Amino acid sequence: MARQFSTVGVVGLGTMGAGIAEVFARTGLTVIAVDVDSDGLARGLGHLEHSTARAVERGKLDEAGKAELLGRISAGTSLDALAACDLVVEAVPERMDLKASVFAELDRICPPDTVFASNTSSLSITEIGVHTGRPGKVVGLHFFNPTQVLKLVEVIRSVVTEPDVVTDVVDLVQRLGKTPVVIGDRAGFIANALLFGYLNHAVRMYESRYATREDLDAAMRYGCGYPMGPLALLDLIGLDTAYEILDTMYHQSRNRLHAPAPVLKQMITAGLLGRKSGRGFYTYDAPDSSTVVPDVHTPVAASDAVPTREVRRVGVIGTGTMATGIVEVFAKRGYDVVLRARTVDKAEGAVAKVRKSLERAVSKGRMSEVDAAAVLARVTPVVEFDALSDCDLLVEAVAEDLEVKRSVFRALDEVCKPGAVLATTTSSLPVIECAAATARPGDVVGLHFFNPAQVMKLVEVVDTISTSADVVATARKVCLDLGKQPVHCGDRAGFIVNALLFPYLNDAVKMLEAHYADATDIDNAMKVGCGLPMGPFELLDVVGLDVSLAIERTLYLEFREAGFAPAPLLEHLVTAGRLGRKTGKGFRDYV
């Protein structure tokens, strides 16, 4: 007969334990919480009080409901209080020695039928199990932070976990209103195995001053629609916890991408643990607060210290999706735009695309017919490069082929007026190669818009070792004027977004290839556990497997990181012509 869990123990009332206790109590279970000492307990109870008070403020709970919920939780500092529990969930810090000693003691205290669960993010459930006399009754129960909000719970079974224990725990997770996914015992399970390589990579970018913390976070929020940027997320997770997770993953995978970035250790040693200590990558107004306050690293509002160049007339070179999107963005904002195509036909076709997009906006009531006509009137199609001679800013958006781009830059160099800013929208080629094709490399900058340009707010402003400071400042100012979110980065393959995104997508393919979980479970884990707008396989099918493979190859060739080498499965799918949605088949089949 299935177990009915009614009294649950929670050991460790920290970031996770307090949230887990609340979720159980909310579902009507009796909770007995234990922390190591009175300080830990006071802090844990403070978390509970704070979190339930916020639920009342937001109208999700009334005062009586709050009192009832908290009334179901009793708390103390002795594990002996857990003798009557049907299930104990451990959420102490991520160290095997600590978890082992907690479970060894629980094993003596609790009856043999009590199920033991660890909320570990990365440690081996099998190893935790052998520290008890009941390895068959030990599972992983991996909640996500914030526990009250995120629905995913990874249920980890070891090779000896009894099947009925897994079934009963899965039932309980469903009773909590959460989404369980059952998986085997591997460091990082699904979500963290994919997430932490990405987080660590972001830390390395920060450490090497490739981009600021604000720009790294903005890039992933505005470029990928992530709910939080990687550094803000690390502050939420806790840097000490993140370090331990990475360290465990590295020892299992020996993948250098999992080796914790050195700055993490330095920050932990200095007591910067993230939100819980009031300071991590960002500074918060108090420990456990989510309110960021300015500190010495906060960028001062772009002052006029660096002069900018005046931009009124913009030339866009190209007729594809990006070019026409960018033409529309500039023309809508009131810039005069010269659209340069190779032939009259292509020029007319490109203007027609802009017209169609504007007509769609009119039909949806987002723009008046008069305004749409005015926008279109600002666009002048041309075929001669000479016609770009009076433009202040030139945006090249031709095919992603270095020789084609370099020939455009040579032509621009001949005709453009002195002082014009020359920008490339390349997403993977070195901007310096375009700059070197001109006699004015100081005027060349990368302006990496995202598709669809009319919608996506992010623009990566890429400066090369030659770009003048006022050119970068001008590019940034123009982006802000367009209502975009500019982020600043150096001239490396993938810039910020693609360099962080594609290795993660590649890791997901490798996980699928290793038969650890199927595409649906992996997609769900990332959406439900991490709040990402799309799962990795959904995204790969949308982007196109051929495009993704090309980006992964570029990253691999630039950084020579073994972990960036494209997964063979991706190569095989591309070879077989399964390119994603555009061919009707990719990781999934589409009708």
Ligand X SMILES: NC(=O)c1ccc[n+]([C@@H]2O[C@H](COP(=O)([O-])OP(=O)(O)OC[C@H]3O[C@@H](n4cnc5c(N)ncnc54)[C@H](O)[C@@H]3O)[C@@H](O)[C@H]2O)c1
Residues at the contact surface with ligand X, assessed by CB under 6 A: 11-17, 34-36, 40, 44, 91-94, 98, 102, 119-121, 142-145, 237-238, 241, 245, 276
- Beta-strand ranges (E) seen in 281-399 are 283-284, 292-293, 313-317, 336-340, 379-382, 393-396
> Is residue 78 among the annotated active site residues?
no
Nearer to ligand X, 121 or 212 (CB): 121
Of 22, 154, 214, 328, the active-site residue reads 154
| Integer Cα distance of 520 and 268 in angstroms | 36
Cβ of residue 15: shortest distance to ligand X, in angstroms?
4
447 contacts 487 by C-beta, under 8 angstroms: no
Nearer to ligand X, 44 or 486 (CB): 44
Of 131, 142, 258, 448, the active-site residue reads 142
Place of tokens 């600043």: 488
425 contacts 322 by C-beta, under 8 angstroms: yes
Of 119, 158, 192, 277, the active-site residue reads 192
Cβ of residue 27: shortest distance to ligand X, in angstroms?
19
- Rounded to 10°, the helix 536-543/497-513 angle is 120
Cβ of residue 84: shortest distance to ligand X, in angstroms?
18
Of 118, 121, 427, 524, the active-site residue reads 121
What are the φ and ψ backbone dihedral angles of 41, each rounded to 5 degrees? -65, -45
How far CA 237 is from CA of 307, 366, 412, 490, in Å, comes to 40, 40, 49, 28
Cβ of residue 93: shortest distance to ligand X, in angstroms?
5
Cβ of residue 146: shortest distance to ligand X, in angstroms?
8
| Integer Cα distance of 133 and 104 in angstroms | 8
| Integer Cα distance of 343 and 349 in angstroms | 10
Nearer to ligand X, 81 or 160 (CB): 81
As separate numbers, helices (DSSP H) first and strands (DSSP E) second, the chain gives 23, 18
Cα–Cα nearest to 488, from 143, 214, 287: 214
| Integer Cα distance of 160 and 139 in angstroms | 10
| Integer Cα distance of 410 and 138 in angstroms | 67
Nearer to ligand X, 35 or 491 (CB): 35
Cβ of residue 503: shortest distance to ligand X, in angstroms?
21
Give the torsion sign (CA, 384, 330, 533, 122): positive
Nearer to ligand X, 128 or 339 (CB): 128
Nearer to ligand X, 13 or 435 (CB): 13
Cβ of residue 284: shortest distance to ligand X, in angstroms?
15
Nearer to ligand X, 277 or 324 (CB): 277
52 contacts 61 by C-beta, under 8 angstroms: yes
**In degrees, to the nearest 5, what angle opens at C-alpha 358 toward C-alphas 355 and 362?**
130
Q: Is 248 helix (H, G, I), strand (E, B) or coil?
A: helix
Cα atoms in the 13 Å half-sphere on the side-chain side of 253: 28
36 contacts 77 by C-beta, under 8 angstroms: yes
Residue 382, Cβ neighbours under 10 Å: how many?
15
| Integer Cα distance of 3 and 20 in angstroms | 20
Nearer to ligand X, 43 or 410 (CB): 43
* Residue at shortest CB range from ligand X: 14
- Pairing assessment for the beta strands 485-490 and 458-463 based on DSSP bridges: parallel
Cβ of residue 101: shortest distance to ligand X, in angstroms?
7
| Integer Cα distance of 89 and 454 in angstroms | 48
Residues making up the chain, counted from first to last = 591
What are the φ and ψ backbone dihedral angles of 179, each rounded to 5 degrees? -110, 110
Residue 278, Cβ neighbours under 10 Å: how many?
18
> Is residue 121 among the annotated active site residues?
yes
Cβ of residue 149: shortest distance to ligand X, in angstroms?
12
> Is residue 154 among the annotated active site residues?
yes
Nearer to ligand X, 92 or 543 (CB): 92
> Is residue 310 among the annotated active site residues?
no
Known catalytic residues are 121, 142, 154, 192
